[in-house]
Amino acid sequence: MGRWSAALALGVWIALAALLAGARWLGQQAAAPGFPLPQADGCWQGVCFLDLAPDLIPATLNAHPGVVPGSARRVVNPAAPGEQRVRFLVRQGGRVYAVELVHDAASYYLAPEAPWLRLGDVVTAWGAPERITLLADQIGLHYPAQSLVVFVLHRGAGTATRLAPSDAVVGLAVLRREPAGAEGRVYYPPSSGWRGFGVYHFED
C-alpha cells in the first residue's frame, strides 16, 4: 500500500509537470495584453514625441488609428504653466486606456489615469532592467538600451522596498538618446543592481 501511494505521488508529479508546461505554453499563445509599450527607437506606436513640435502632438494623436478620435486634448496645469500635458484614450485589445502625456525637449512621460500595466508585463516585454533607483515615493527601473525608465510605487519603509510582478506601473519615461560615443551612465543613489523580484535594501 505504501508503494502504491508512492507510485501515485510520482504519477501525480509527472502529470502536474506536463499540465504546468501546457499552461505556460497556452499563456504564451494568448495575445499580448495591456497598454502598448514604447518602441526600441524611443517612439510610441510610430509617434515620435521627441521629434514633434508640442503644438502638433494633439492633432497627431487624434489622427493615430490606435487613439480614440478626438480624445487627445491639451491640459493646462495651473501649477506649472510651461509644462506640456496631453490627455488621450488608447484602444487596445478591446479595452480603452486613459493616458496622460507629459513632454519636454529631453523626454516624454506616459502616466495612466487608472492602472493599466503591471511591472511583470514590462519585464516580460523588455527583460531585466540594468538598475533600479529609489526616487522619493517611486522606484525607477532603468533600461538604458531603450532609454526607458519604468516607475512603480515605493511600497516599503526607508530604503527597503519590495518589487513584485503584480506592481502597477505608474509611469513610463522615454528619454532622448545620448549622443553616439557617450559612455558610462551615472545612477544617483539610492540605487541597486537588478536581482529579480523580491526585497531590496538600497545602497545609500
Partner 1 sequence: MRLSLDLNPQLPPWARLTHPVLRSVLQRERRRRTPAGRVLAALVGGGMVLGMLYAGVDAYRRGLALGVSSQGESPVFSVLYLLLLCLQLFAQFAALLLASSLLAGARQRESWELVRVTSHGAEMAVWARWAAVFFQLRWVLGMLMVPRLFFAARMLAGVADYHGHQLDLAIMGITPGVSIEAAIGLLAALMAAALVQPVVIVALNAAAGLLLAVVFGGGRLFQVARTVAVVAQAGVFGVALSSGWVVLNGDPLSPAYASMSTGERWSSLFLLAVGGDQSLRFMNLQTTLRAWADVEYGVLLGAAILAVVLVEALLAGGVVGWAARRAGRPVRA
Binding site residues, partner 1, CB under 8 A: 1-6, 8-10, 12-14, 16-17, 19-21, 23-30, 32-33, 118, 120-121, 123-124, 128, 156-157, 160-162, 164-166, 194-199, 201
| Shortest distance in whole angstroms from residue 107 CB to partner 1 | 27
Q: Is the peptide bond before 69 cis (omega within 30 degrees of 0)?
A: no
| Residue whose C-alpha is closest to residue 38's, from 141, 151, 174, 139 | 174
Nearer to partner 1 by Cβ, of 64 and 190: the residue is 190
With beta carbons less than 8 A apart as the criterion, state whether 163 and 151 touch: no
Which residue, 6 or 145, has its beta carbon nearer to partner 1?
6
Closer by beta carbon to partner 1, 61 or else 121: 121
Least distance (Å) between residue 26 CB and partner 1: 5
Question: Which of residues 77 and 166 has its CB atom nearest to partner 1 in the complex?
Answer: 166
From the CB of 75, what's the least distance to partner 1, in Å? 32
Gap between the Cα atoms of 102 and 107, Å rounded: 8
Helices (H), ranges, the chain = 2-29, 57-62, 119-126
Q: How far is the CB of 92 from partner 1 (least distance, A)?
A: 14
With CA atoms as reference, report the closest residue to 188 among 135, 149, 139. 135
Closest CA to 192 of 154, 159, 158, 153: 159
**Beta-sheet pairing, 169-175 with 198-201:** unpaired
CB of 104 to partner 1, least distance (A): 33
3/79 with CB nearer partner 1: 3
